[in-house]
Amino acid sequence: MPLVITRLCRDKVDGACVAVCPVDCIKQYTGDDKQAFPNQLYIDPEECIDCGVCAPECPWEAIYEDEEVPEVFQDDVDLNAKIAGSDEFEVPEISEHDSPDPDDVEANKKTWGLEG
- Give the model confidence (pLDDT) of 99-116 as tens digits: 899 999 999 999 999 976
Q: Where are the alpha helices (DSSP H) in the chain?
A: 16-20, 74-81, 102-111
Rounded average pLDDT per 10-residue block, the chain, 116 residues? 91 94 97 95 95 96 96 96 93 87 96 86
pLDDT of residue 1: 53
pLDDT of residue 115: 78
pLDDT of residue 103: 96
HSE-up of 103 (CA within 13 Å, CB side)? 0
pLDDT of residue 48: 95
Planar angle of CA 69, 39, 90, nearest 5 degrees = 90
pLDDT of residue 96: 80
Domain 3-92: give its CATH code: 3.30.70.20
Q: What is the number of other CB atoms lying within 10 angstroms of the CB of residue 73?
A: 19
What are the structural domain ranges in the chain? Answer: 3-92
HSE-up of 77 (CA within 13 Å, CB side)? 13
pLDDT of residue 116: 62
Residue 85 gets the label, from left (phi > 0), alpha (psi -120 to 50) or beta, of left
Model confidence, pTM: 0.93
CA 80 → CA 4, 12, 39, 50, 104, distances in Å? 6, 17, 13, 14, 24
